[in-house]
């Protein structure tokens, strides 16, 4: 009979690594495994968390103590097993009758020692089982704590995902509403531009407008339609670099400013500022200024009477 080795026998099942699992399982099987783990971790009753003090200090010290106690118990078991083997061999010699004549009471003494050693071995085995079970419980605490921490993190991620999904949904609805309002605004702008174009045509046909400026001015409805197409095209173009965006913004602002300035100059309702008439050196001037008279927005001549008294 050999001494106990206290070797553990591994089970026949082994977990697969991530790479091995990808090669072994199908996508559907992996999805099923992950879904089952998520459902199990979603239960609040399965969450068991440990404080950092217990996790880093108490459990570490207890594990070290139990490991040392386990090694000591295993050593004592080996000693007692060796002693029991010698007692059994001695008892066998007494049974053969070789040493009965020399020590008649030796058999009873050996049997008593054998009984005592057997009790010690049984006690040590119980202690070894208890220590091993406690170590297993501690290892399970570590595993459950890690799984619970991952479950809490998954809950937070799920909550954050639901919140962001709701925000994205709200923003999408807001964008859709803004797009509807934008289309309505463009539609109204085109209608107003058509009305202004029609009004300009009526004014030009009635002869009260300025034909030159009316001919040189492009139709407002065409400019609004072009601006709308440019705006829609800009929304579909992918994002460029910041330099390109800044230069584009500068060019758009400059073109808008020049367009607004030219539109103000071409307006049929605007008039040029008349020149200031020259001041005569002496005498009093009162009369029509035919040379420096101006026209109002409807083409009528304006006559100014400027009284002047020489000092």
Which pLDDT tens digit goes with each residue over 101-123?
566 677 788 889 999 999 999 99
**Other CB atoms within 10 Å distance of the CB of residue 110:** 21
- CA torsion 222-223-226-232 (nearest 10°) is -120
**Within-domain flag for 252:** no
Q: Average of pLDDT values for 57-74? A: 95
Q: Is 242 part of a structural domain of the chain?
A: no
Provide the 3-class DSSP secondary structure of residue 295: strand
Which of residues 128, 147, 166 is at a domain's end? 147
Of 213, 235, 267, the residue at which a domain comes to its end is 213
Distance in angstroms (rounded) separating the CA atoms of residues 231 and 183: 11
Same domain? For 136 and 58 the reply is: yes
In a domain, 153, yes or no: no
Number of Cβ atoms within 10 Å of the Cβ of 6: 13
* Within-domain flag for 110: yes
Q: Are residues 128 and 197 in the same domain?
A: no
Does 89 or 286 have the greater pLDDT score?
89
Q: Residue written as tokens 């992950």?
A: 34
Q: Do both 82 and 137 map to the same domain?
A: yes
Residue 141 and residue 191 in one domain: no
Last residue of a domain, one of 147, 167, 199: 147
Model pTM score: 0.56
- Count other Cβ atoms within 10 Å, centred on residue 295: 13
Same domain, 142 and 72: yes
* H helical segments located in the chain: 18-24, 27-42, 52-53, 59-96, 106-206, 211-216, 220-236, 242-266
Residue 68 counted as domain residue: yes
* pLDDT, tens digit, 9 for 90 and up, residues 8-45: 888 899 999 999 999 999 999 999 999 998 888 878 88
Residue 60 vs residues 64, 67, 133, 189: alpha-carbon distances, Å: 6, 11, 16, 75
| Structure-block tokens of residue 311 | 């000092």
User: How many domains, in total, are found in the chain?
Assistant: 2
pLDDT score of 296: 43
Count Cβ atoms below 10 Å from residue 124 Cβ, excluding itself.
20
Domain-embedded: residue 289: no
Give backbone dihedrals phi and psi of 294, rounded to 5 degrees, phi first.
-120, 175
For residues 204 and 266, is the Cβ–Cβ distance under 8 A?
A: no
**Upper half-sphere CA count for residue 225 (Cβ side, 13 Å):** 7
| Report for 66-70, 194-198, 274-278: range of highest mean pLDDT | 66-70
For residues 136 and 206, membership in a common domain is answered with no
Token reading at 89: 């061999």
Task: Round to whole Å and give the CA distance between 257 and 259.
Answer: 5
- Structural domain contains residue 4: no
Is 248 inside a domain boundary? no
For residue 263, how many other CB atoms are within 10 A of its CB?
14
In this structure, are residues 77 and 125 in contact, taking their beta carbons and an 8 Å threshold?
yes
Kindly report the CA angle at 104 between 100 and 106, in degrees rounded to 5? 90
Mark whether 96 and 183 lie in a shared domain: no
Residue 37 backbone zone (phi > 0: left; psi -120 to 50: alpha; other: beta) = alpha
Alpha carbon 230 to chain centroid distance? Answer: 34
Say yes or no: 128 and 193 in one domain. Answer: no
What are the distances in angstroms from CA 294 to CA 11, 215, 216, 270, 286? 109, 22, 22, 13, 17
Arithmetic mean of pLDDT, 155-174: 94
At residue 272 the predicted structure's pLDDT band, cuts being 50, 70 and 90, is very low
Q: For residue 77, name the pLDDT band (cuts at 50, 70, 90).
A: very high
Domain that holds residue 119: 50-147
């Amino acid at each position: 009979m050999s001494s106990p080795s206290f070797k553990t026998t591994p089970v026949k099942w082994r977990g697969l690594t991530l790479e091995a699992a990808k090669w072994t399982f199908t996508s559907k099987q992996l999805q099923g495994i992950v879904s089952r783990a998520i459902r199990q971790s979603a239960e609040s009753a399965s969450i068991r968390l440990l404080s950092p003090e217990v996790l880093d200090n108490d459990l570490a010290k207890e594990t070290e103590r139990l490991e040392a106690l386990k090694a000591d118990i295993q050593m004592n078991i080996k000693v007692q097993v060796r002693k029991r083997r010698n007692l059994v061999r001695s008892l066998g010699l007494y049974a053969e009758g070789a040493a009965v004549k020399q020590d008649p009471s030796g058999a009873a003494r050996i049997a008593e020692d054998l009984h005592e050693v057997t009790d010690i071995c049984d006690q040590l085995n119980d202690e070894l089982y208890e220590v091993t079970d406690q170590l297993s419980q501690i290892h399970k605490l570590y595993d459950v704590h890690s799984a619970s921490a991952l479950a809490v993190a998954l809950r937070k991620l799920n909550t954050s995902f639901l919140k962001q999904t709701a925000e994205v949904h709200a923003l999408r609805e807001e964008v859709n509403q803004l797009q509807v309002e934008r289309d309505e605004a463009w539609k109204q702008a085109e209608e107003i531009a058509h009305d202004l174009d029609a009004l300009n045509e009526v004014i030009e046909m009635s002869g009260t407008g300025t034909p030159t400026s009316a001919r040189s001015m492009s139709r407002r409805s065409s400019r609004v339609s072009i601006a709308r197409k440019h705006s829609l095209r800009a929304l579909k173009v992918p994002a460029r670099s910041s330099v390109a965006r800044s230069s584009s913004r500068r060019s758009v602002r400059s073109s808008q400013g020049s367009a607004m300035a030219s539109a103000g100059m071409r307006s049929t309702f605007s008039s040029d500022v008349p020149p200031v008439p020259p001041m005569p050196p002496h005498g009093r001037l009162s009369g029509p200024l035919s040379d420096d008279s101006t026209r109002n927005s409807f083409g009528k001549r304006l006559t100014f009477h400027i009284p002047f008294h020489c000092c």
